Amino acid sequence: MADSKLLVPELGEAEKMGTETERFEELLLQASKELQQAQTSRPESTQIQPQPGFCIKTNSSEGKVFINICHSPSIPPPADVTEDELLQMLEEDQAGFRIPMSLGEPHAELDAKGQGCTAYDVAVNSDFYRRMQNSDFLRELVVTIAREGLEDKYSLQLNPEWRMLKNRPFLGSISQQNIRSQQRPRIQELGNLYTPDSLRLEERREKPHLNLWLEAPDLLLAEIDLPKLDGALGLSLEIGENRLVMGGPQQLYHLDAYIPLRINSRESKAAFHRKRKQLMVAMPLLSVAS
């Protein structure tokens, strides 16, 4: 489904190139101003107190590591799919399914033998946690994603082998965490779950060329080449905090791009340039501090 808030009226063929460029620059300037206003009027984060769930033990090159899997109703839940549907998505190596998590800071603790170790708190949605308690598959998936998330965030190398502690829901103390007040868009809501028919369509989709550049310290611009299209009809566009997903009409195009910057998805704008056959996207950036 196209996001009507992102896609603005097309730039007509009859318009001159200079007029088109000026119009897009005005669009970008407006997005940048809206971002500045939003940053002063909306808090970016809120504090939560995760509740204990279960604790796993693993290790790194620096010693023993414990991960407290916690939960909070303030964490958004993942998409509501069955385990069979989720398994099919994972088997096809699709990155559309996300489990929102809050990854806490490392804290030094003592294990049962009084030896030093490091613990991390990872929080998921409370309803999803209750569902996970009855599913070994979901529990292992959450632990794997949490481990990989901690590795990426803190440049760790954790042992993929782990065990769950018995009769000990957490190690040390669970600290409050800051989470973003505005929930990032759920990119997986763009389309239906994969079926054999939709997989055949996926094989025919073309990945368009994407050109990205920083127009200003707080403004990222993108041009997506769509030579087979004459207009924006049927285009879908979804922008997350660090993700851009675009779908074309009649399964012509599909783009799923990771962007290593924090994007203000609510203030992003897009317009289709008919003469160039490009989708032009203006993405204001969030400040580094959260």
Strand partners, 88: none
The chain-wide mean pLDDT, for the chain, equals 77
- Which residues in 259-275 are b (16+ Cβ under 10 Å) and which e? beeebbbbbbbbbbbbe
Query: Residue 189 — pLDDT band, cuts 50, 70, 90?
Result: very low
Strands 107-110 and 116-125: antiparallel
Measured distance CA(270)–CA(252) in Å, rounded:
19
Strands 163-164 and 51-60: antiparallel
Q: Which residues contact 89 (CB under 8 A, 6 or more apart)?
A: 81, 96, 97, 193, 194
pLDDT tens profile 48-91: 899 999 999 999 988 999 999 999 998 888 877 788 877 776 77
The CATH fold assigned to 203-284 is Immunoglobulin-like (2.60.40)
pLDDT value at residue 130: 94
Q: For residue 130, report the phi and psi dihedrals to the nearest 5 degrees.
A: -65, -35
State mean pLDDT over 234-258: 85
pLDDT value at residue 31: 54
pLDDT reading at 162 higher than 90: yes
Rg of the chain over all Cα atoms, to the nearest angstrom: 22
Q: Let me know if 60 is exposed, middle or buried by CB neighbors in 10 A (0-12, 13-18, 19+).
A: middle
pLDDT tens profile 80-132: 778 887 777 677 654 456 788 889 999 999 988 889 999 999 999 999 999 99
In terms of phi and psi (left: phi > 0; alpha: psi -120 to 50; beta: otherwise), the region of 10 is beta
Locate the domains of the chain by residue range.
45-90+97-178, 203-284
Helices first, then strands: H and E counts in the chain:
5, 15
pLDDT reading at 202 higher than 50: no
